[in-house]
């Protein structure tokens, strides 16, 4: 495809995130339906050209678990990327429509994401860096694929300078400023799987006595690619019901960053991720033991103990998912 802006006809808005927006378009000369992502960046022309060059690696990414790439071009002052259109959208949108996702489907999602991550890393040495339900897409054939991975170092830098991100899928080691590794993606996968299986973001306050606010759309002034050097060293756990904990909790009521009934600031959430035990697939007994075990393995707080995506492809739950005859195409036809 020799993509030119004037050959693309807008059909539908698909959504918008922090870094830009996505539209369904038709490439008129070839009648190909695509998703066009406009990436808002604040960078010099030379940097924009560099980004465009780096994005060309995506032409070489060929996997059933990775969104295909049609091309990218400059659309002053932004960058446009045209990628495979997935007609069932992203998994966050899907669970918000149909509710908690069946654990057997979740196991297929885990398998697809691990295959995609392993392909990206083994073949191209690419680390995804942004695994979350909105970056896992599904189509009516029942295919599950990942998108929005960090192919371009320059793009990662440029977005970090301009956007204000939700950082809630970030691993404890990233919050504490360590290097990104494939294992950070495994943490993000674990959080995402719990979110899909429960139908809600796992770091919510529902275990507390007085409210059940949800933190999934917290925004802060942090970007996923900028390490933070804050006071986020692990600390001994405090008793949740101690006087001090209760007082702090009351105090924190007043400092939510935005509306929506949230009671934890982004900083408190990040401290929570570093200091508290990782979330789990609960309640006990609702999900198969091997699913619980897999998720526990993704959410080991020490990255040295956490497995890589490639190791996890051998986990019994994933082996079972690969062999399962579960019909994802039929599942996708139910919504």
Catalytic: which of 76, 87, 92, 130?
A: 130
Binders of ligand ATP among 187-216, rule CB under 6 A?
A: none
Q: Which C-beta is closer to ligand ATP: that of 19 or that of 150?
A: 19
Rounded CA gap, 133 and 222, in Å? 19
Cα 259 to Cα 33, 166, 202, 214, 264: the distances in Å are 38, 15, 19, 11, 11
Please report whether residue 148 would count as binding Mg ion according to CB under 5 A.
Answer: yes
Q: Is 130 a known active-site residue?
A: yes
Quick one: which of 15, 220, 227, 297 contacts ligand ATP (CB under 6 A)?
A: 15
Quick one: which of 41, 51, 114, 147 contacts ligand ATP (CB under 6 A)?
A: 147
Rounded CA gap, 240 and 119, in Å? 42
Any idea what DSSP says for residue 20? Answer: E
Compute φ and ψ for 310, nearest 5 degrees: -65, -45
Rounded CA gap, 42 and 93, in Å? 29
Q: How far is the CB of 247 from Mg ion (least distance, A)?
A: 39
Rounded CA gap, 169 and 203, in Å? 10
Residue 22 binds which entry of Mg ion, ligand ATP, none, with Cβ cut-offs from 5 to 8 Å by kind?
A: ligand ATP
Cα 289 to Cα 178, 191, 281: the distances in Å are 32, 17, 10
Quick one: which of 85, 187, 203, 287 contacts ligand ATP (CB under 6 A)?
A: 85
Q: Which window, 129-137, 186-194, 305-313, 321-329, contacts ligand ATP (CB under 6 A)?
A: 129-137
Quick one: which of 12, 16, 28, 75 contacts ligand ATP (CB under 6 A)?
A: 16
Please report whether residue 109 would count as binding ligand ATP according to CB under 6 A.
Answer: no
Please report whether residue 135 would count as binding Mg ion according to CB under 5 A.
Answer: yes
Residue 78 binds which entry of ligand ATP, Mg ion, none, with Cβ cut-offs from 5 to 8 Å by kind?
A: none
Q: 175-191: buried (b, 16+ CB within 10 Å) or exposed (e) per residue?
A: bbeeebbbbbbbbbbbb
Please report whether residue 69 would count as binding ligand ATP according to CB under 6 A.
Answer: no
Contact 178, 98 (CB under 8 A): no
Length of the chain in terms of residues written: 335
Residues found near ligand ATP in the complex (CB under 6 A): 14-22, 35, 67, 83-86, 89-90, 93, 130, 134-135, 137, 147-148, 166
Residues that bind Mg ion (CB under 5 A): 135, 148
């Amino acid at each position: 495809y020799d993509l030119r802006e004037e050959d693309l006809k807008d059909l539908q808005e698909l959504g918008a995130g922090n870094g830009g927006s996505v539209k369904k378009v038709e490439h008129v000369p070839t009648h190909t339906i695509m998703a066009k992502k406009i990436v808002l960046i604040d960078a010099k022309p030379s940097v924009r050209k560099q980004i465009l060059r780096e994005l060309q690696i995506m032409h070489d990414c060929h996997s059933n678990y990775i969104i295909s790439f049609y091309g990218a071009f400059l659309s002053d002052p932004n960058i446009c990327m045209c990628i495979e259109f997935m007609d069932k959208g992203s998994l966050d949108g899907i669970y918000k429509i149909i509710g908690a996702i069946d654990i057997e489907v979740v196991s297929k999602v885990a398998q697809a994401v691990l295959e995609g991550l392993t392909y990206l890393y083994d073949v191209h040495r690419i680390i995804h860096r942004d695994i979350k339900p909105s970056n896992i897409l599904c189509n009516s054939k029942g295919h599950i694929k990942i998108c929005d991975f960090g192919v371009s170092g320059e793009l990662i830098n440029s977005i970090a300078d301009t956007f204000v991100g939700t950082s809630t899928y970030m691993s404890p080691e990233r919050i504490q400023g360590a290097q990104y590794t494939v294992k950070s993606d495994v943490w993000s996968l674990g959080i995402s799987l719990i979110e899909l299986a429960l139908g809600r973001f796992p770091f919510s306050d529902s275990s507390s006595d007085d409210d059940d606010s949800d933190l999934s759309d917290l925004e802060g002034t942090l970007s996923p690619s900028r390490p933070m050097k804050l006071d986020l060293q692990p600390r001994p756990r405090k008793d949740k019901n101690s006087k001090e904990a209760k007082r702090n909790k009351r105090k924190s009521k007043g400092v939510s960053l935005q509306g929506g009934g949230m009671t934890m600031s982004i900083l408190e959430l990040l401290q929570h991720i570093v200091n508290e035990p990782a979330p789990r697939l609960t309640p006990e007994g609702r999900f198969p033991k091997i699913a619980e075990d897999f998720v526990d393995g993704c959410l080991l707080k020490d990255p040295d103990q956490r497995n890589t995506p490639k190791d996890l492809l051998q986990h019994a739950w994933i082996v079972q998912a690969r062999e399962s005859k579960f019909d994802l195409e039929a599942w996708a036809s139910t919504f």
